[in-house]
Structure 1
Amino acid sequence: MSLSQKIAGELPFLRRYARALSGSQARGDAMVKQALEKALADETLKNSLAGERDALYRVFHLVLDERGTSSQAASTDDTKEASALAKLDAIADQTRQALLLTTVEGFNTEQAARIMGIDADTVEKLNQAAIAKIDAEQRTSVLVIEDEPMIQMQLEDLVLSLGHEISGTATTKDEAVKSVEANRPGLILADIQLADGSSGLDAVKDIMEIAEIPVVFITAYPERLLTGDRVEPTYLVTKPFREETVKASISQALFFG
């Protein structure tokens, strides 16, 4: 496999990490672009990309350490975006990095430590701090859009275990829209493929015309959505999922929501 093929295969997942970390597709993609430009301009960094999967993430973190996730805070005029960036300044970025790397991206503690340039014990402590923050997250109500009964029950149990409430469940686009109209949730967990052939993406698009609500998408085919060809989900969980991954994504969505 050529270096360009290797990078192309890993890029959608690095973009997922960057946008979850920054809370924005545009900011996340800009950070990834800067990391790739830096790597391709430096022969040593470029050669390092031929290594393990964590190599591309290590290069990304070199750029991240130089600019910080919230370096654009002073330049934005958007009130909502400025508020989100202010939140980033208020917490330890490393805590969120460690949580996302080990849960959403699936790296083990040692790999996350190499990516972040710290020791494994520190990664463990950061994860413990992140979990504590999740437990203290503001409680909300959650709409679960999922057509597989067992997965729907699993997501409901997970939501309740975090101290949130279930505002409703839906298996089709129409059911989802009606549920939001009847009982406005504070968060949505949405499958992509629904029971009647409708799309969770279409359901959320219609819902956003009613109200802006944070969304975590769940799909067995994340690479189909992370193409860079259109507006993409910020929070995307891959099926089959680990509960820790969903918890981390919920925390991030509520944090920026």
Structure 2
Amino acid sequence: MNAVTQAELLRSLPPARRYARALTGSQPAGDALVGAALRAGLPEGLSARLALYAGVTKLAPPPAAPPSGAALGARQRQLLLLTALEELSVSEAAQVTGIPTDAAETELEEARAALRSAAAADVLVIEDEPIIAMDVRQLVESCGHRVVGVAATEAQAVRLAASKKPGLILADVNLGAGGDGITAVGRIQQQLKVPVIFVTAYPERLLTAETVEPAFVISKPFEPLALAIATYQAVSSTVPIG
């Protein structure tokens, strides 16, 4: 076990769980991976957060076969998630994955190029703020995906999902007077099994470890690359580990 305090480990568990879920594609598989990393022992010489990331990375299962036209390798996915979603520097991501910084930079350049050729998905956006919805739509389309609907309320989201059958949902948590994005997604997934990315200013509502959590959470404000890698992972994630 790494020479870090229990308090440091506890503070680092939410981001480690988020990263593991994004790697595996589900909450149960991600949490099982974090547990396996803790049992196996964490690497020495790193902070608690980086050590947890490194332990998860070492034990992560290989990704499923990528969609036609996409060619992201396992390490490229890891580096993209670590830098874009977890906001590590390239040098920190290199430490986590155990490669030199210059090699990590090269891998990231190749990964960003591969993202542009990834297979497209039909996306439903759930967002009550019109300007933010326009921005998200533009970003989704710039990633090569198709936006099949934009819902501002819980009821509208359920109706659009039933009629459009999206392959991916991007949902805000707080829909103001229009309801709740978490509830909307729960209702949709009773009828349609579809990957979901929550794009929210309230990630703590989704990282409580008290209820079923989504595999993909992006905090607002976010970078376009974070959305690109999250959408790619969501539509091409691995089969959950047991």
Question: Shared fold (TM-score greater than 0.5)?
Answer: yes
How far is the alpha carbon of 1:91 from its aligned partner?
5.8
Distance 1:126 1:175 in 2: 41
CA–CA separation in structure 2 for the residues paired with 1:114 and 1:39 = 17
Counterparts of residues 84-233 of structure 1 (less than 5 Å): 86-87=64-65, 92-196=73-177, 198-233=179-214
Q: Which amino acid aligns with 2:36?
A: Q
1:19 equivalent in structure 2: 21
Residue in 2 that maps onto 1:69:
61
Give the CA deviation at 1:127.
1.5
Q: Which has the higher contact order (CA 8 A, sep 6+)?
A: 2
Structure 2 vs 1, CA of residues 35 and 174 (structure 1 numbering), >3 Å: closer, same or farther? same
Q: Is it true that 1:252 corresponds to 2:230 in the alignment?
A: no
TM-score (norm 1): 0.82
Q: Where does the alignment leave 5 or more consecutive residues of structure 2 unmatched?
A: none
* Residues 162 and 61 (structure 1), Cα distance of their counterparts in 2 relative to 1, 3 Å cut: closer
Moved over 4 A (4+): none
Contact 2:23–2:237 under 8 Å retained in 1: no
Distance 2:109 2:123 in 1: 25
How many residue pairs match? The answer is 231
Taking only aligned residues, the RMSD between alpha carbons, in angstroms, comes to 2.2
In 2, distance between residues paired with 1:35 and 1:171?
Answer: 40
CA distance in 1, matches of 2:116, 2:125: 20
Looking at structure 1, the residues matched to 128 and 111 of structure 2 have their Cα atoms a distance apart, in angstroms, of 31
SS at match of 2:61: coil
1:39 corresponds to which of 27, 31, 41:
41
Residue pair 1:12, 1:223 contacting (<8 A) in 2 also: no
Cα deviations by residue, 1:121-144 (Å, 9 ceiling, x for unpaired): 221222223223321222222111
Where do 5+ consecutive residues of structure 1 fail to align? 71-84
**1:87 partner amino acid:** A
Task: Tell me by how many angstroms 1:86 deviates.
Answer: 4.1
Which has the larger Rg?
1
Scaled by the length of structure 2, what TM-score is found?
Answer: 0.86
Name the amino acid aligned to 1:69. Answer: P
State, as a whole percentage, how many aligned pairs show the same letter. 41
State the shift of 1:29 in Å. 1.0
Number of the residue aligned with 2:56: 60
Q: What secondary structure, in the 3-state scheme, does the structure 2 residue paired with 1:94 have?
A: helix
